[in-house]
């Protein structure tokens, strides 16, 4: 069963997942996975590099890189990255066979910095036509993520719930930090929440498995039980770790129990 929220900038792929039947999910989930960067994909790109060199000379303003990316079944921006890396390795200015990731990232973001004008145009064309990978997609994800983190903080402030932001925790030396660490825990239907993670995405099997491994279990080990909000919905069957400290939701909880020190103090004085 799929749980979805009918608000926010939901992509075509996400909307498809929300309304897909169980039989269609596997195919759609493949679309949501990270682009393949296997040995096979790398070899395919290396073989395509000479074709790019020849074809780009014949048709410098044509969709050479886009067409080759389609043939090797890679997102255009990822294919452009690998072609760009190969170009830099083969350049006369490069004394070794290594190219820094930082340099490639900078050139993908600012294609006018690429000295070869044809390559610069081809990379720009690939980046602009990629809806799943690359600097433009990452900027959109980052922007949407910030919007929903702001929404989460607005809910907390509205309910007078004190919290520590991720940036503050990092400044104190924490290595694994959720978006929000509550200063005083709250309860949702009897479940204790010490931290909240905001995910401006759909919670599918692949992303949830990766988040559990890379983030969520670390939060539980450090701060106790917490809540993950998938603002664009999630697969209900994935919410199976509440007894171990990880609960899923698709919006900010409507019913909360908060700790009020003043009430406790009054009870002590009256007893």
Nearest Cα to Cα of residue 79 among 34, 46, 105: 46
The 10s digit of each residue's pLDDT in 150-197 is 999 999 999 999 999 988 888 888 888 999 999 999 999 889 999 999
Separation of alpha carbons 45 and 82, rounded Å: 7
How far CA 185 is from CA of 67, 72, 179, 224, in Å, comes to: 54, 51, 15, 10
Nearest Cα to Cα of residue 140 among 9, 271, 6: 9
User: What is the average pLDDT across 239-256?
Assistant: 94
End-to-end CA distance of the chain: 50
How far CA 244 is from CA of 61, 90, 216, 218, 234, in Å, comes to: 56, 52, 11, 12, 19
Q: What is the 3-state secondary structure (H, E, C) of 179-221?
A: CEEEEEEEEECCEEEEEEEEECCCECHHHHHHHHHHHHHHHHH
User: What is the average pLDDT across 260-269?
Assistant: 51
Give the chain's length.
271
- Provide the token pair at 53: 């060199």
Separation of alpha carbons 264 and 7, rounded Å: 39
Residue 16 has pLDDT above 80, yes or no: no
How is residue 254 annotated by DSSP?
Answer: S
Residue 11 has pLDDT above 70, yes or no: no
How far CA 236 is from CA of 18, 101, 132, 209, 226, in Å, comes to: 11, 38, 25, 14, 17
3-class DSSP state of 136: helix
How far CA 28 is from CA of 107, 199, 239, 241, in Å, comes to: 32, 19, 20, 24
Separation of alpha carbons 134 and 142, rounded Å: 12
Mean pLDDT score across all residues of the chain: 82
3-class DSSP state of 259: coil
Using only C-alpha atoms, the chain has a radius of gyration, in whole angstroms, of: 24
How far CA 160 is from CA of 72, 110, 259, in Å, comes to: 53, 43, 11
The 10s digit of each residue's pLDDT in 39-89 is 777 787 888 889 999 999 999 999 999 999 999 888 999 999 999 998 998
């Amino acid at each position: 069963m799929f749980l979805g929220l009918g608000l926010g900038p939901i992509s075509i792929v996400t909307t498809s997942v929300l309304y897909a039947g169980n039989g269609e999910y596997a195919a759609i989930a493949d679309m949501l996975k990270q682009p393949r960067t296997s040995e096979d994909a790398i070899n395919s790109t290396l073989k395509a590099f000479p074709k790019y060199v020849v074809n780009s000379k014949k048709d410098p303003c044509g969709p050479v890189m886009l067409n080759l990316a389609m043939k090797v079944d890679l997102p255009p921006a990822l294919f452009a990255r690998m072609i760009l890396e190969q170009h830099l390795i083969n350049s006369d200015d490069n004394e070794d066979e290594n190219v820094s990731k930082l340099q490639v990232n900078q050139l993908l973001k600012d294609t006018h910095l690429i000295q070869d004008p044809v390559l610069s145009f081809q990379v720009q064309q690939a980046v602009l036509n990629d809806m799943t990978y690359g600097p433009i997609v990452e900027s959109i994800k980052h922007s949407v993520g910030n919007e929903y983190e702001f929404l989460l903080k607005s809910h907390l402030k509205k309910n007078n719930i004190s919290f520590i932001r991720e940036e503050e925790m990092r400044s104190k030396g924490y290595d694994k930090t959720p978006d929000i660490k509550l200063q005083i825990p709250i309860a949702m239907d009897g479940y204790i929440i010490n931290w909240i993670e905001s995910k401006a995405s759909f919670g599918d099997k692949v992303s949830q498995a990766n988040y559990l491994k890379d983030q969520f279990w670390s939060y539980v080990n450090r701060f106790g039980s917490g809540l993950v909000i998938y603002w664009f919905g999630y697969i209900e069957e994935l919410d199976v770790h509440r007894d171990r400290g990880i609960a899923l939701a698709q919006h900010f909880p409507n019913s909360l129990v908060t700790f009020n020190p003043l009430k406790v103090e009054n009870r002590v004085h009256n007893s």
